[in-house]
Amino acid sequence: MWNVFLKELLEILRDKRTLAFMLLMPAIIVPALFSGYAKLASDKAQQEGTRELRYALVADDGAPILQAVLAATPRLRAVPLGSQQAAIAAIQAEQIDFALIFAANGERAILAGQQPEISLAYNTATVFDGVGKRIKPLLAAAYTNRLRVERLAIAGVTPDLAATLNSPFKLSVASTASARQEHGEQIGALIPYLLFIMGLMSSIAVAIDMGAGEKERGTLESLLLLPISRSTLVIAKFLVVLCAAVISGAIGIASMGFCAMYMLGQQSSELQSLTQYIQVPELLMLGLLILPAYAMVAALLLSISFFARSHKEAASYAQQMTLIVFLPIMAAMLPGMKLSDGWSLVPITNTALAIKEVIKGTIVLTDLISVFLSTSVVAIVLLLMCIQWCKREAVLFRS
């Protein structure tokens, strides 16, 4: 078995394209793409959050209180428009960014004790809602407070009493979670996604070459003539795919970590705190959790590779199989997902949840053992199915 293992490993090392894909993708290309996207998204969000917004205020009485609030807010510029129709047309023509449209009587109705409707009109078909993020809090806080003061003054309430009515108490938040738990909750959900995507990319390329590639090159028959069982042959190939996933995942997550630290520097207290929390015991637990998950994926990919007639067909199947991996990871990111609710037995989702708990420092030994054992059992079952699959001549020699 080990001779076959070394033979397959040497073939990968000699294949410069596969080796480059296995090492360069997780080490350089993917971190560079993620970093570039993060930098571009940050710059665009900052530009959208700080750019000047043009607006129109449509009210029967001119809404003087709101005018004063908007005039005191930086990066807002008023554009005089006389009607709702003109304001909507200006938004559609991108002449203004938003309009505030009062119902009949404008602010007079509010000061008279009524609750008229104020319409915030703008184009909501945007990824980053710059208008909503800036104007909605302004209306809910500054403008509402000014109106409340005016209403209380009309009612004859003194300023001191008005202050206690506006803020009847001071709220202080006492968190029972540690700083590590807070930081781990914010960043820990991303770690499983990166670990899986890094390991999956390389294992796909290697697994396809192990089965479909051997068929196209005509070398599979030579391997079958060796005095070893089909089980030994499959296990040797499986170990090569697993090694590729482990090496690629380790290189990828390390490269992403260094890249994130370089980009964020001193700006990310969460990232710096996590580097202090993740020591040798945490790294060992992460390896213990991700190894059976990689084994499960490797067995699936190898089965697909043996089933496919060609390299192209295997690549198509493997791309579709990625949904089987990523959807359970996304499920682990949903609120309220806990290992104690039975999710410790659900493949991939349990690994993602357990990794987050390790980052947070809240992993329970029973959950760790449960996740490891359940995932290992699934991986063994899939490997046994792959072995049985490869014992069928109709599968190995499909034409």
Dihedral angle sign, alpha carbons of residues 220, 225, 230, 234: negative
For residues 244 and 347, state if they share a domain.
yes
For residues 88 and 220, state if they share a domain.
no
Look at residue 172 and tell me if it is in a domain: no
Count Cα atoms within 13 angstroms, Cβ side, for 310.
4
For residues 12 and 70, state if they share a domain.
no
For residues 313 and 282, state if they share a domain.
yes
User: Do 2 and 240 meet the contact criterion of CB atoms below 8 Å apart?
Assistant: no
For residues 233 and 355, state if they share a domain.
yes
| Beta carbons within 8 Å of 352's beta carbon, 6+ residues apart | 189, 192, 193, 196, 328, 329, 332, 333
Report helix, strand or coil for 158. coil
| Spatial distance between the Cα atoms of 263 and 31, rounded to a whole number of angstroms | 11
Look at residue 146 and tell me if it is in a domain: yes
Count Cα atoms within 13 angstroms, Cβ side, for 261.
12
Distances (CA, A) of 347 to 113, 301, 397: 59, 16, 31
For residues 243 and 356, state if they share a domain.
yes
Look at residue 285 and tell me if it is in a domain: yes
Backbone angles phi, psi at 286, to 5 degrees: -60, -45
Domain region containing 122: 49-166
| Number of structural domains the chain divides into | 2
Q: List beta partners, residue 58.
A: 101
pLDDT of residue 68: 92
Cα–chain-centroid distance for residue 232? 39
For residues 138 and 251, state if they share a domain.
no
Q: What is the DSSP string of 92-139?
A: HTTS-SEEEEE-TTTHHHHHTT----EEEEE---SSS-HHHHHHHHHI
For residues 99 and 247, state if they share a domain.
no
Look at residue 82 and tell me if it is in a domain: yes
**Helix (H) / strand (E) containing 232:** helix 230-264
Express the helix, strand and coil content of the chain in percent, nearest 5 each. Answer: 75, 5, 25
Over the chain (399 residues), what is each successive 10-residue block's mean pLDDT? 68 64 65 70 72 91 91 92 91 93 88 89 84 90 88 82 79 82 77 82 82 79 78 89 85 68 52 65 86 92 85 82 82 83 86 89 88 93 88 68
Look at residue 173 and tell me if it is in a domain: no
Q: Which of 115, 145, 166 finishes a domain?
A: 166
For residues 204 and 249, state if they share a domain.
yes
Look at residue 105 and tell me if it is in a domain: yes
For residues 75 and 221, state if they share a domain.
no
pLDDT of residue 266: 45
Distance from the first to the final alpha carbon of the chain: 28
Q: Which of 166, 191, 209 finishes a domain?
A: 166
For residues 89 and 220, state if they share a domain.
no
User: Amino acid identity, residue 263?
Assistant: M
| Beta carbons within 8 Å of 73's beta carbon, 6+ residues apart | 138, 142
For residues 22 and 82, state if they share a domain.
no
pLDDT of residue 261: 60
DSSP letter at 212 equals I
Q: Taking phi first (over 0 means left), then psi (-120 to 50 degrees means alpha), and beta for anything else, what does residue 346 get? A: beta
| Beta carbons within 8 Å of 250's beta carbon, 6+ residues apart | none
pLDDT of residue 102: 92
Look at residue 174 and tell me if it is in a domain: no
Q: Which of 166, 193, 212 finishes a domain?
A: 166
Look at residue 171 and tell me if it is in a domain: no
pLDDT of residue 197: 81
Nearest to 383 by CA among 261, 297, 308: 297
* CATH number, position 115: 3.40.190.10
DSSP letter at 28 equals I
